[in-house]
Structure 1
Amino acid sequence: MTTTAHRRASGPRPTADGTGGRQAAGRAPLSGVLWLVWRQHRLVLGVLLAGAAATAVWCAVLRGRMAEVIDAHHLAGCSMISLVPHCADTQEAVIAFRSEFGSSLKLVETGLFLLPALIGLFLGAPLVARELETGTHQLVLTQSVGPLRWLAAKLALPAAFVLTAVSGLSAVFAWLWQVGGDEVSGSYWYSTLGFGALGPVPVAYALLGLAVGVLTGLLLRRTVASMAATLAATVVVQLAFQQLRPALLPVATSRFGLGTAIQAPDSGWVQGQGYLTRAGERLTGDDMGCAPNGDYAGCLRSHDVTGQFLDQHPVSHHWPLAWIESGLVLALALLVTVLVFRVMRRRHG
């Protein structure tokens, strides 16, 4: 009896992850915390992956249907008003195409554009804030895992899931965009939703949203307050980059004679147009004050106007702009992550 009682008293004790000491002894401390993070957040992470997989399947089906319609009516490269010869009689077909597929394409764009904010709101903000609010972090920190290693595990596993899910969705959407994007659908690459859903942009913003959510959780220590602050910060960052985006790359300038009608391509992101003087000065109609119903030609001569200009970002600027903005956003995400670990070290050692 004495031997049995002694073995029970000195046997495996429950740890923070709910396993016995023998099981925990066979697992490295950090991997044990990763398992605990998975157990705590497997519902949200599972929903993220399942939603990404379902959306990818739906996009594949949508792409097939769109490709059939475009091939049947020869709509590739056509818009509602196009100067391309083979698009002369396709206006009604383009209108029908946009009526059938426009809302579906817009729905995918909107989902990818909002996904970074949703990740920060429902994954990043509660990730640490809930632990601090309920005090359950104290149990974990009493184990062999230090606060910084605990935080690293808390960030690493969700970041891996976010990177996998959003990268896959972005790639599938780019594959869908190749068929029905831009001219045919009327949803252009430079639109707020289109740019935010294509290429590396949603991936960078998703990682930033996750990092911002964890930082607000550490600072505010309240789940609901952290969610609100994360949403506000994510919106502010996205709005700031929307204003900065046109200046990330020099525009391409085209020059025209006075008698030439300026025709910007449908895929071009127009940034400005106006008149050129003999000295090279740029003027707009507002600058000159020429009345349309007056002697407009005489007014142009009085300002020594010799030609016209058009500033735009052509479609070839899309990927450079996307990578530049994504690099800046990722740098910001890295900075926020560094702040997260500094705050953790200062408050919890």
Structure 2
Amino acid sequence: MTTTAHLGANGTGPTAGDPGGAREPGVRGPLGGLVWLVRRQHRLFFGLLLAAAAGGAVWCAVLRGRAAAFIDAHHIDGCSMISLVARCDGTQDAVVEFRNTYGPALQLAEAGLLLLPVLIGLFLGAPLIARELEAGTHKLVLTQSVGPLRWLAAKTALPALVVLAVTTALSAVFAWLWQVVGDEVSGSYWYSTLDFAALGPVPVAYSLLALAVGVLAGLLLRRTVLTMGVTLGAMVLLQVALKQLRPYLMPSGSTEFGPKESAQLPDNAWLVGQGYYTRSGDHLPMEVCDSAGDQESCLRSHDVVGQYMDHHPASHHWPLAWIESGIVLALTAVLTVLAFRVMRRRHG
């Protein structure tokens, strides 16, 4: 007659069926077995993420090499469609050809990194816990040696590590590509919605946030499809809200132009506001005299002496990116803590 070994109530001691307390070699521990299970359950999505990282790296490397060769051959580094730089005279046709050739590929890469956090939230974060709760398979695990908090930690830790590694790699490779093709020559500037969302720590932070949103929504809603819809809506809302907040994350600079000066900023400066300034230094909105019949008389009556432009220079790019990413990661931490509190309250 044979006996079957079972773990005790706390998962560490032997039971009557295992009087010696010995574990057969090669048998996984409770938590290690759960991590293995998480990897098995999501191996398809993990594989797709890793394949996207590898494929994206190769594609960006090839695109960077070809774009750099074109720029060098046509001497258009730092040149734009309308450039005030003397060495860029006569390069407009080459710049147009460059944008037509490499612009679509660059925009595709930017759009992919913008959408990546949403896809992670939809297909990894949302079903990660909701599917278990909906099917009831979590009950089997929670009746074994793994407690609810350790179960949640094991379920989220491995996906978070994979997401962190993949998004960091993709963001770094894209930044390497953007060093060659970004700004003037491609007309793709750091402050655009696509570029800002694809560069530096921003896609990494939003991807981790999407995972946290999906996990918390799954714990609360316990329905996979409903959780996916809520995760999608929440991520779109958060991205739009933070985009509106972005210009105010740090003070912008202001440049004043006299009455005989051309009011023009560098192409890589992000214009966030403009208007008129008076002799006393007051700033008036650009629309102050729109309804006036005689605009010149209206401006003289307000004692206007020139125009001003509020802007973020290119040097503000990385501070803005890190500030926004810090806000997103702080929100991610809050949602993660809430998820563990919900898990403790519902399952002890």
Higher-helix-fraction structure: 1
Q: CA deviation at 1:32?
A: 2.1
Residue of structure 2 in register with 1:318 after alignment? 317
Q: Could you say if the C-alpha distance between residues 287 and 30 of structure 1 is closer, same or farther in structure 2, counting changes exceeding 3 Å?
A: same
* Root-mean-square deviation over aligned CA pairs: 2.0
Letter in 1 for 2:334: L
Residue of structure 1 in register with 2:19 after alignment? none
In percent, how many aligned pairs have the same letter? 65
Q: Secondary structure at the match of 1:185?
A: coil
Q: Secondary structure at the match of 1:309?
A: strand
Whether the aligned pair in 2 keeps the contact of 1:213 and 1:227 (CA below 8 Å) is yes
Q: Does 1:180 align with 2:173?
A: no
CA distance, structure 1, for counterparts of residue 290 and residue 52 of structure 2: 55
Q: CA deviation at 1:23?
A: 5.1
1:27-81 Cα distance to aligned partner (Å, 9 max, x none): 4432221111111111111111111111111111000000000011111111101
CA distance, structure 2, for counterparts of residue 196 and residue 149 of structure 1: 33
Q: Secondary structure at the match of 1:328?
A: helix
1:286-339 Cα distance to aligned partner (Å, 9 max, x none): 2134769x562x443221112221111111100000000000000000000001
Residue of structure 2 in register with 1:99 after alignment? 100
Q: Secondary structure at the match of 2:256?
A: strand
Whether the aligned pair in 2 keeps the contact of 1:116 and 1:209 (CA below 8 Å) is yes
1:193-252 Cα distance to aligned partner (Å, 9 max, x none): 110000000000000000000011111111111001100000000000010000001111
Whether the aligned pair in 2 keeps the contact of 1:66 and 1:179 (CA below 8 Å) is yes
Q: Does 1:338 align with 2:343?
A: no
Structure 2 length normalisation: TM-score?
A: 0.92
CA distance, structure 1, for counterparts of residue 290 and residue 51 of structure 2: 59
1:249-270 Cα distance to aligned partner (Å, 9 max, x none): 1111111211101111110110
Q: Secondary structure at the match of 1:250?
A: coil
CA distance, structure 1, for counterparts of residue 167 and residue 262 of structure 2: 43
Residue of structure 1 in register with 2:14 after alignment? none
Give every structure 1 segment of 4 or more consecutive aligned residues whose post-TM-superposition deviation is greater than 6 Å: none
Letter in 2 for 1:319: W
CA distance, structure 2, for counterparts of residue 145 and residue 11 of structure 1: 19
Residue of structure 1 in register with 2:79 after alignment? 78
Whether the aligned pair in 2 keeps the contact of 1:288 and 1:303 (CA below 8 Å) is no
CA distance, structure 2, for counterparts of residue 262 and residue 271 of structure 1: 14
CA distance, structure 1, for counterparts of residue 241 and residue 222 of structure 2: 27
1:169-209 Cα distance to aligned partner (Å, 9 max, x none): 00000000000011111111111111000000000000000
CA distance, structure 2, for counterparts of residue 100 and residue 191 of structure 1: 20
| 1:1-349 → structure 2 map (5 Å cutoff) | 5=1, 8=2, 10-12=3-5, 22=23, 27-289=28-290, 294=294, 296=296, 298-349=297-348
Structure 1 length normalisation: TM-score?
A: 0.92
Q: CA deviation at 1:164?
A: 0.1
